[in-house]
């Protein structure tokens, strides 16, 4: 059942890399393109504890509330799933 007024994950707008919060946290759509020294090989949104989407495509992220991020993306808040 779907409650009126509630967004499903698929309905969330994609995070724009030019968003001020995205810029502040070094978000990139493709982790392989970052030059940030904090990035470790293999780090991506898909394996971050704050990301709740699937292994491909876009999904919600607790860091960027109300937005979906690319599973292949990355930001400095990346924290590997335990």
We report the CATH number of the domain holding residue 27 as 4.10.490.10
Total number of domains constituting the chain: 1
pTM: 0.85
3-class DSSP string for 1-13: CCCCCCCCHHHCC
How many angstroms separate the CA atoms of 10 and 21, rounded? 21
pLDDT at 50: 98
Report which of 68, 49, 55 is spatially closest to residue 7, judged by C-alpha positions: 68
pLDDT at 10: 63
pLDDT < 70 stretches in the chain: 1-10
Q: In this structure, what token pair is assigned to residue 54? A: 């699937």
Name every residue whose Cβ is closer than 8 Å to that of residue 47 and which is 6 or more positions away in sequence: 80, 81
pLDDT at 28: 98
Residue 51: inside a domain, yes or no?
yes
Residue 61: inside a domain, yes or no?
yes
Residue 68: inside a domain, yes or no?
yes
pLDDT at 2: 45
């Amino acid at each position: 059942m779907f409650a009126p007024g509630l967004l499903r994950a698929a309905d969330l707008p994609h995070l724009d890399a030019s968003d001020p919060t995205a810029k502040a946290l070094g978000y990139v759509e493709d982790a392989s393109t970052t030059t940030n020294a904090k990035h470790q090989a293999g780090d991506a949104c898909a394996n971050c504890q704050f990301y709740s989407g699937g292994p491909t495509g876009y999904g919600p992220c607790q860091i960027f509330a109300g937005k979906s991020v690319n599973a292949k993306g990355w930001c400095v808040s990346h924290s590997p799933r335990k």
